[in-house]
Structure 1
């Protein structure tokens, strides 16, 4: 699979740019500063890009690797801060 292979969905970057192909993602990673470039998440993204480009794997693997590296500092929140849970408020009549 050549480096010009496009991703299934383009990767949106914070400054409004988009990564459309494997080559775009590789050049973006190579332009990162040295300390950012050596972070394990970016190393894994580079390995995924190389495997997909040279061994012909699915482009989704490379996309996932780049997305994980881009979002490595983001903490996911599963509940909204002001939302209360519904369990524990009601009791059955037999338990009273």
Structure 2
């Protein structure tokens, strides 16, 4: 497995019309963030994953997951209470008909 900051992601990450194609692109993006945002735990974890993959090798998907989690850290999935209705108590067995 090759190492280095020039390794590309399997799927580039699009951020505000910009594509992060390599580990170096992602590292530069994180480094250019505002200090307050850069200090967020999600971005720290993403940067740690980038460094580990770039210097130690391994699948770039781990670094991509870290970046995507940091980018989407404020997204809250909307809970739909009627999402999947249960069928309990409504079905009848053939023998009971």
Specify the TM-score bucket, using the shorter chain as the normaliser: 0.7 to 0.9
**C-alpha deviations, 1:43-90, integer Å up to 9, x for none?**
0000000000000121000000000000000012464x7756253572
Q: What is the TM-score normalised by the length of structure 1? A: 0.83
CA distance in 2, matches of 1:23, 1:84: 43
Q: Give me the CA root mean square deviation.
A: 2.2
How far did 1:40 drift? 0.3
What is the match of residue 92 of structure 2? 92
Unaligned runs of 5+ in 2: none
In the alignment of these two chains, the number of paired residues is 93
SS of residue paired to 2:75? coil
Instruction: Answer yes or no: is 1:75 the counterpart of 2:69.
Output: no
SS of residue paired to 2:76? coil
What is the match of residue 7 of structure 1? 9
How far did 1:16 drift? 1.6
What is the match of residue 36 of structure 2? 35
SS of residue paired to 2:12? strand
Q: Which runs of 4+ in 1 moved over 3 A?
A: 81-84
Say if 1:17 and 1:89 are closer, same or farther in 2 by CA, change over 3 A: farther
Unaligned runs of 5+ in 1: none
CA distance in 2, matches of 1:91, 1:82: 19
CA distance in 2, matches of 1:56, 1:28: 20
